[in-house]
Amino acid sequence: MSHEEIGLFGILFAVLGGAIRVGTPFLFVSLGECLTERSGRINLGLEGNLVMGAMLAYGISYLSGSPWLGVAAAAGAGAMLGLLHALLCQQPRVNDIAVGIALMLFGTGLAFFWGKPFIQPSAPHLPSLSLGAWSDSPALRSALEINVLFIAGIVLAPLLAWFFRNARWGLNVRCAGESTEAALAMGLNVNMIRLLATMAGGALAGVGGSFLSLYYPGSWNEGLSSGQGLMAVALVIFARWDPVKCVYASLLFGGAAALGPALQSAGITWGYYLFNAAPYVLTLAIMIATSSAKRRLPGLPGVFSNLK
Partner 1 sequence: MKRRTFLKGIAGAGSLAALGGAGITRAFADDKVKMGFVYVGPRDDYGYNQAHFEGKSAVAKQGWVKAFDEENVPETIEVIKTMESMINLDGAQVLFPTSFGYFPHILKIAEKYPKVMFLHCGGLWDASKHPKNVGSYFGYIDEPVYLAGIVAGHMSKTGKLGYIAAIPIPQVLRNINSFTLGARSVNPKITTNVVFTGGWANPVKEAESANSMVDQGIDVLTCHVDSPKVVVETAEKRGVMCCGYHTNQAVLAPKGFLTGAEWNWSKVYADYAEMIKGGKTIPNLVRGGIKEGIVKSSPYGAPVSDKARKHADEVRAKFMDGSMVVYKGTIKDNKGNTVIAAGKEYKQTDIWLESMDWLVEGVIGAAKS
The residues of the shown chain that bind partner 1, judged by CB under 8 A, are 6-7, 10-11, 13-14, 17-18, 21-22, 112, 116, 119-120, 122, 138-139, 142-143, 212, 216-219, 221-224, 226, 228, 257-258, 260-262, 264-267, 269-274, 276-277
Shortest separation between residue 126's beta carbon and partner 1, angstroms: 12
Secondary structure element (H or E) that encloses residue 90, with its range: helix 67-90
Shortest separation between residue 214's beta carbon and partner 1, angstroms: 12
191-213: b (≥16 Cβ within 10 Å) or e:
eebbbbbbbbbbbbbbbbbbbbb
Residue 125 or 240: the one with the smaller Cβ distance to partner 1 is 125
Residue 74 CB partners (closer than 8 Å, separation 6+): 52, 53, 54, 56, 57, 60, 206, 207, 209, 210
Shortest separation between residue 111's beta carbon and partner 1, angstroms: 12
* Sign of the Cα pseudo-torsion (193, 198, 204, 210, in order): negative
Shortest separation between residue 239's beta carbon and partner 1, angstroms: 21
Q: If we measure between CA atoms, which residue out of 11, 7, 9, 8 comes closest to residue 260?
A: 11
Shortest separation between residue 306's beta carbon and partner 1, angstroms: 35
Shortest separation between residue 267's beta carbon and partner 1, angstroms: 5
Residue 142 or 290: the one with the smaller Cβ distance to partner 1 is 142
- Whole-angstrom Cα distance, residue 267 to residue 31? 36
Shortest separation between residue 6's beta carbon and partner 1, angstroms: 7
**Which of helix, strand or coil describes residue 225?**
coil
Residue 10 or 202: the one with the smaller Cβ distance to partner 1 is 10
- Whole-angstrom Cα distance, residue 213 to residue 117? 14
Residue 7 or 302: the one with the smaller Cβ distance to partner 1 is 7
Residue 241 or 253: the one with the smaller Cβ distance to partner 1 is 253
Q: If we measure between CA atoms, which residue out of 117, 115, 99, 102 comes closest to residue 212?
A: 115
Q: Are 50 and 205 in contact (CB under 8 A)?
A: yes
Residue 22 or 237: the one with the smaller Cβ distance to partner 1 is 22
Residue 161 or 252: the one with the smaller Cβ distance to partner 1 is 252
